[in-house]
């Protein structure tokens, strides 16, 4: 085979290799969300209240403890689970009882959930219970969100900032 043709073949090969590299470096596009939808992401870390209320020790109990451990208030470390409810336009889309983290059950409960909803205006209700009560919630929020297509609405929870945060 004449060597001009062989060089042409080499050029062809290199061009093909480069074209393949250039192509798959960013194509085909990967589409993760249906057209015209938005995402709600619920994520928080929150520690429920203690399983047992703190208790003031009696003078008699205190005297039994070694002198360096005499703290007048005794608190258990274990925490209650956190109950969470999320409703969109009145319909519940997420309900869970989140166990406290940590081996001793003394850590924060974690939530990280994503929901795809049609874009548009939605009434979002979020409720959270972190106490011993068996009914009702300790925190409730209602939020009317106008979600643009592709928008990501984050719902966080921070007790020290008054409860749910929509952003």
Partner 1 sequence: MGLLKRSLRACFDSGERFLALAFPPDWNPLLNLGALGFFFYWIVTVSGIYVYIFLDTGVTQAFASVEYMTGEQWYAAGLMRSLHRYASDGLVAVMLLHMLREFALDRFRGVRWFGWATGIAVLLLVTIAGISGYWLVWDRLAQYVAIVSTEWLDHLPFFGQPIARNFLSPETLDSRFFTLMIFMHIAVPLIALVGLWLHLQRVTKPRINPPMGLAVGAGLSLLMLSAVHPATSQGAANLAQVPGSVGLDWFYLGAYPLLETFSGEVTWSAALALLVIMGAIPWLPPMKRQRPAAVDLANCNGCARCMNDCPYSAITMQARSDGRPFEGEAVVDPDLCVACGICAGSCPTSTPFRRLSDLVPGIDLPDRSIAAIRADADAEGARIAGPARIMVFGCINAGVAAACRAADVGVVSLNCTGQLPPSFIDYVISRKLADGVLIAGCRENGCHNRFGARWTADRLAGERDPYLRARVPRARVVTLWAGRLGGAGLRREIAALATRLALLGPFKPKSPFGRAVAQGERADA
How far is C-alpha 121 from the chain's CA centre? Answer: 22
Nearest to 51 by CA among 119, 95, 96, 99: 99
- Tell me, residue by residue from 103 to 142, as one string, x for binding to partner 1 by CB under 8 A and - for no binding: ----xx-x-x------------------------------
User: What is the rounded distance in angstroms from the CA atom of residue 93 to the CA atom of residue 120?
Assistant: 17
Residues 71-90 binding partner 1 (CB under 8 A) are none
* 150 near partner 1, judged by CB under 8 A: yes
CB of residue 93 to partner 1, shortest distance in Å: 17
The closest alpha carbon to 41, from 140, 112, 143, belongs to 112
- The closest of 50, 94, 107 to 76, measured between CA atoms, is 50
- Of 112, 86, 81, 108, the C-alpha closest to 97 is 81
Query: Given the rule CB under 8 A, which of 30-38, 58-66, 81-89, 124-132 is the region that contacts partner 1?
Result: 30-38
Instruction: Tell the smallest beta-carbon distance from residue 97 to partner 1 (Å).
Output: 18
Binding site for partner 1 (CB under 8 A): 1, 6-15, 17-22, 24-27, 29-33, 38-39, 41, 43, 45, 101, 107-108, 110, 112, 150-152, 154, 156, 167
């Amino acid at each position: 085979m004449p060597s001009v043709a062989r060089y042409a073949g080499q050029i062809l090969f290199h061009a093909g290799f480069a074209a393949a590299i250039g192509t798959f470096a960013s194509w085909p596009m990967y589409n993760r969300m249906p057209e015209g939808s938005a995402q709600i992401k619920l994520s928080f870390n929150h520690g429920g209240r203690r399983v047992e209320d703190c208790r003031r020790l009696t003078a008699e109990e205190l005297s039994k403890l070694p002198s360096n451990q005499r703290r007048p208030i005794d608190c258990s470390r274990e925490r209650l689970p956190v109950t969470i409810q999320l409703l969109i336009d009145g319909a519940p889309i997420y309900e869970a009882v989140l166990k406290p983290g940590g081996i001793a059950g003394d850590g924060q409960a974690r939530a990280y959930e994503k929901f795809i909803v049609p874009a548009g205006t939605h009434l979002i209700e979020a409720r959270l219970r972190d106490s011993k009560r068996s009914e009702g919630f300790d925190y409730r929020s209602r939020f009317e969100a106008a979600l643009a297509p592709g928008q990501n609405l984050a719902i966080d929870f921070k007790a020290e900032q008054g409860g749910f945060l929509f952003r």
